[in-house]
Amino acid sequence: NYLEVKYLLTVLFAAAAERVKKKSVEWARRFFVIENDLSPEEEAMIREENAWAFEGVDTDEYVD
């Protein structure tokens, strides 16, 4: 924030949050180019323990 534009940062963060809201983990991985380093077993355990976080997720759309 060396430009002292706190309002601009607030708006940009809000826009970024809105862009990823209700997107799947797979969508976020493609969008942010994040490699999945979890085993299928680890991923299944996380999904089971945090099932509430996966409710109401939009179907994936194309990410370029």
Residue 18 lies in a domain: no
Q: Rounded CA gap, 46 and 18, in Å?
A: 24
Residue 43 lies in a domain: yes
Q: Is the pLDDT at 2 greater than 80, yes or no? A: no
Concatenated DSSP letters of 1-64: -TT--HHHHHHHHHHHHHHHTT--HHHHHHHHT----S-HHHHHHHHHHTGGGGTTPPPP----
Residue 10 lies in a domain: no
Residue 9 lies in a domain: no
| 7-45: pLDDT as tens digits | 888 999 999 898 888 888 888 898 889 999 999 999 999
Q: How many domains does the chain have?
A: 1
